[in-house]
Amino acid sequence: MNGGQADSNGAQLESDRRLLDLQRMRLFAAGLLVAMVALFIAASVYQAAWPWLTYVRAFAEASMVGACADWFAVVALFRHPFGIPIPHTAIIPRHKGRIAENFGKFISNNFLAPNEVAAKLESIDAADWAARWLTQPANARQIAARLRGAFPSLLELLSEDEVRSFSRRMIGSGIDSIAAAPLAARLLSVLVEHGHHETLFDIGIARAQLFIEEHKQNIRQRVAKNSVRWLPDWVDGKLTDSFLAELQSTLVAARAPDHPWRLEYRAAVHRLVVKLADDPDMLQHCEQIKAEVLDNAVVEGYLDWLSQEFESKVQAELAATDGILSSGLEHALIAFGNWLDNDTEIRAMINRWAQQLVFNAVVPNRVEIGAFVAEVVARWDTTTLVEKLELQVGKDLQYIRINGTLVGGMVGLAIHVAVRMLG
């Protein structure tokens, strides 16, 4: 909207400038005619006193004739001089239809001829222009804003259920497309590389110690309950306490970096990573587990909630002028422009596509384009047509009046001199 209004304002300013130039040249041409009239009158009055003024009078007289003749010729193109319907005047209004038809044919046969269009397209490096234009942050920001503004209209074409269903399918298919076992192997490898698996081992040891401490009394009771009847309770308690104390000592010792349990745990984690990454049976087993998880009703509900969150996030991003979407689009456009700017082969390919597209769209339809131009010109009312043509060529036509005034005077002067010499 703003771009169209700016173009309209620019066209109006250009039209006003042309009208001002036309009016200035009209005044100059009319002023020159008035000057010739005054010069003719002055030379006629004082010719008796100064005989040489006969040459000035002849120049001024011929200048007036030339000025009036060229004024008549210029005015006759656009209207009837003094409103009198003199034959062969108001040429353009009388032949508007023929002019429009010939103008359309002239454009289609000359400007839209295959050779002309092909030559012009070859000289245009559209990809280079687009690359340089897109690398300007202000331009990329403008395009990103236009794209972001188009997204709500596209979403309005779909119902809320369709959007959520699409979001859910996209999220579900995205999860389903990822192989579970290799992903788990990579994640576990990252944990091992940063030593987080050691932390998990220490947490397991700590939880085991805490469990033993919190359930010591319960363990005593269960041991006493399942012990032989003839064994005293205090003996069962002693045995149980000794066993638990030894177990706690073993767990404390397992915290050492070189403890056999820890070494075996490291080896087991390494074997699991290798198996997840390479074992086909493990891959198939993990895929079965993933399918069962995705089919679970709880996961179905979670995906529905996730799709709703995705939709709300998209709506919020579309409403934000400085959100992640706008910033991402802007950076993507700038990156695309830089890529075009640095890749000559891609630019050449895009130029070929653009040239072929324009050529195939314009050349086969040049007759229709010329007919469209003729129809537009024919629909203009006479006043509009005359005004548009006068604004385009009126200034140059006033030069014809000026030249006619001066050239006519010189020719008249030459004839007068020749007559005097022959006389």
Q: Tens of pLDDT along the chain (423 residues)?
A: 455 555 566 667 777 788 888 888 889 988 999 999 999 999 988 888 898 888 999 999 999 998 888 888 888 877 777 777 777 777 777 777 787 788 788 888 887 888 888 888 888 888 888 888 888 888 877 777 777 666 665 555 444 555 555 555 555 565 666 677 777 778 778 777 777 777 888 888 888 888 878 877 777 777 666 665 655 666 666 777 787 788 788 888 888 888 888 888 888 888 887 887 787 887 777 777 777 666 655 455 655 655 566 666 666 665 656 656 667 777 888 888 888 888 888 888 888 888 888 888 888 888 888 888 888 877 777 777 777 777 777 777 888 888 888 888 899 889 888 888 886
- Which structure tokens are listed for 216? 């010591």
Q: Where are the alpha helices (DSSP H) in 47-125?
A: 53-78, 91-94, 96-106, 114-122
Q: What is the pLDDT of residue 116?
A: 83
- Single-letter code of the amino acid located at 255: R
Q: Is 228 helix (H, G, I), strand (E, B) or coil?
A: coil
72 CA to centre of own chain: 53
Q: Considering only CA atoms, which of 391, 367, 390, 371 is closest in space to residue 379? A: 371
Question: Residue 386: which of 1, 90, 44, 87 has the closest Cα?
Answer: 90
Q: How far apart are alpha carbons 130 and 127 in whole angstroms? A: 5
Cα distance between residue 291 and residue 283, in whole Å:
12
Q: Could you give the count of Cα atoms lying within 13 Å of 282 in the half-sphere of its Cβ?
A: 15
> pTM for this structure?
0.41
How far is 401 from 67, CA to CA, in rounded Å? Answer: 6
Helical segments of 227-279, H only? 233-253, 260-278
For residue 341, give both structure tokens. 């700017």
Say what the pLDDT of residue 229 is: 61
Count CA atoms within 13 Å of residue 351 on its CB side. Answer: 20
Residue with tokens 């996730």: 306
pLDDT at position 304: 63
123 membership: H or E segment, kind and range: none
Contacts of 234 (CB under 8 A, 6+ apart): none
Q: How far is CA 359 from CA 114, 119, 128, 279, 373, in A?
A: 8, 11, 19, 57, 19
**Phi, psi (rounded to 5 degrees) for 88:** 60, 30
Structure token digits, residue 4: 């169209």
pLDDT of residue 182: 75
Residue given tokens 């300007």 in the structure block = 136
